[in-house]
A and B are shown apart, each in its own frame.
Chain A
Amino acid sequence: MAFRPQHEIHTRRFGRNVGVAVLLVGFVMLVFALTVVKVTRGDPMKGFDHVVEPALLPDPGAAP
């Protein structure tokens, strides 16, 4: 069974969909780039890796 040639309106819809797809991908990339910039330049941060760090424990000698 042969497909009928596409109507002009379908190509126009396709163009619209491609436009929206490009915008969404661009937006995601921009948010990612912003995140990388903000995180790498942001306040000093510390990742916790489930290892006990004595420096962070409350001082047992301190008054409650």
Chain B
Amino acid sequence: MTDIRVFDAVPEAGFGDYVQLLKPRVMSLVVFTALVGLLVAPVRLHPVEAFAAILFIALGAGASGALNMWWDADIDAVMKRTKGRPVPSGRVAGAEALGLGLALSGISVVMLGLATNLVAAGLLAFTIFFYAVVYSMGLKRVTPQNIVIGGAAGAFPPMIGWVAATGSVSIEAVLMFAVIFMWTPPHFWALALFMKEDYHTAGVPMLTVTHGRKATRAHVLVYALLLAPVAIWTAATSIGGPFTMAVSVALSVWFAKGGHDIWRRDEAMAEVDKYAVEKAFFRFSLLYLFVIFAAYLIEAALKIYGLGGW
């Protein structure tokens, strides 16, 4: 008598594969920046409300990640770095990623609205729409400025955190948005300079491919310079103070110098030291974002003791 055999020909997804769909590494950044936005706001939420707000903002980001993985499965299947993702590797069906993304989008927006307020929920809905539809479906495959547009989606979380606490958008929220918005392009273009990914086989117009590496280096410098006034202006608002200002100025100078170093080099020089300057700039850019948002948080903590703030 034969019994039923189960073949592994179609790999079945484990729980972790669904977690991978939500892009947990992006989510960790979202949690951090949204938390800072929420904590530096002048209105205090109850800890349970604050926890729920951060959780559902992160879940919304995860939902847009799942929608992105559904839409971009064809690109991901071609590129080396991404072809092990759940959808292109066949562990999770594309329709399932779409379903999960849509369901989590609805849950996160409704729950954020119930936990905090409708403005925050509306902003979260817009962010998901912007990342999944405007960026992933619309502009990513069309323009080499795709990084700039995608950066806008990543810049919303601190603003949503702020709005979750206060109920309205203010200059501080807009400036925190602007800091991440201006930071994203040099961060990713520096990565593109030394990673040399196979974007051209996937048909994604990366700036390094469409306009060349020299133009990319110039773009890194311009955005690194433009970030400086935004960061310093943010430090001059109500969430800043002398401490934040000192940190922002130091980071801005360092970041601009890094951009300048990248701009001065050409590919021959970069090949010699295996892109050491580009890699160092990329690592520093990660540190930059972490330190500047930590500074806003520290300033808010100092204010409790009557030390921080203007």
Residues of chain B in range 1-60 having any CB-CB distance to chain A below 8 Å: 3, 6, 8, 12-15, 18, 46, 48-49, 51-52, 55
Residues of chain A in range 9-29 having any CB-CB distance to chain B below 8 Å: 9, 12-13, 15-16, 18-20
Tell whether, in the assembled complex, residue A12 and residue B12 are in contact, meaning their CB atoms are under 8 Å apart. Answer: yes
Q: Is B280 part of the contact surface with A, judged by Cβ < 8 Å?
A: no
- With a cutoff of 8 Å between Cβ atoms, the chain B residues found around residue A8 in the complex are 8
In the assembled complex, the Cα of A36 lies from the Cα of B49 at a distance in Å of: 11
In the assembled complex, the Cα of A33 lies from the Cα of B115 at a distance in Å of: 11
* A16 CB to nearest chain B CB (Å): 5
Q: Which of A7, A16, A18, A30 contacts B52 (CB 8 A)?
A: A30
Tell whether, in the assembled complex, residue A34 and residue B14 are in contact, meaning their CB atoms are under 8 Å apart. Answer: no
- With a cutoff of 8 Å between Cβ atoms, the chain B residues found around residue A13 in the complex are 12
The A interface is mostly helix, strand or loop, or mixed, namely helix
Q: Is B202 part of the contact surface with A, judged by Cβ < 8 Å?
A: no
* B117 CB to nearest chain A CB (Å): 12
In the assembled complex, the Cα of A18 lies from the Cα of B16 at a distance in Å of: 12
Tell whether, in the assembled complex, residue A15 and residue B46 are in contact, meaning their CB atoms are under 8 Å apart. Answer: no
* B93 CB to nearest chain A CB (Å): 14
Interface size counted on chain B using CB atoms at 8 A: 16
Q: Is B114 part of the contact surface with A, judged by Cβ < 8 Å?
A: yes
In the assembled complex, the Cα of A12 lies from the Cα of B55 at a distance in Å of: 26
In the assembled complex, the Cα of A30 lies from the Cα of B13 at a distance in Å of: 27
Chain A contact-residue range equals 10 to 19
Q: Which of B3, B6, B49, B55 contacts A37 (CB 8 A)?
A: B49
Tell whether, in the assembled complex, residue B15 and residue A15 are in contact, meaning their CB atoms are under 8 Å apart. Answer: yes
Closest to B49 in A: A37
In the assembled complex, the Cα of A57 lies from the Cα of B52 at a distance in Å of: 42
Tell whether, in the assembled complex, residue A41 and residue B13 are in contact, meaning their CB atoms are under 8 Å apart. Answer: no
| Known A7-B6, A9-B6: A34·B48 in contact at CB below 8 Å | yes
* B12 CB to nearest chain A CB (Å): 6
- With a cutoff of 8 Å between Cβ atoms, the chain B residues found around residue A12 in the complex are 12, 14
Closest to A18 in B: B15
Tell whether, in the assembled complex, residue B48 and residue A37 are in contact, meaning their CB atoms are under 8 Å apart. Answer: yes
Tell whether, in the assembled complex, residue B12 and residue A41 are in contact, meaning their CB atoms are under 8 Å apart. Answer: no
* A10 CB to nearest chain B CB (Å): 8
Q: Which of A4, A18, A41 contacts B46 (CB 8 A)?
A: A41
Closest to B17 in A: A16
Closest to A41 in B: B46
Closest to B55 in A: A30
In the assembled complex, the Cα of A21 lies from the Cα of B208 at a distance in Å of: 46
Question: Can you list 13 A-B pairs with a CB-CB distance of less than 8 A?
Answer: A8-B8, A9-B6, A9-B8, A9-B12, A12-B14, A13-B12, A15-B15, A16-B15, A19-B15, A33-B48, A36-B48, A37-B48, A41-B46
Given contacts A9-B8, A9-B12, A16-B18, could you give 12 more A-B pairs where the C-beta distance is less than 8 Å? A12-B12, A12-B14, A16-B15, A18-B15, A19-B15, A20-B15, A30-B48, A30-B51, A33-B48, A36-B48, A37-B46, A37-B48
A-B pairs, top 9 by smallest CB distance, nearest first, are A19-B15, A16-B15, A37-B48, A12-B14, A33-B48, A37-B46, A7-B6, A15-B15, A9-B6
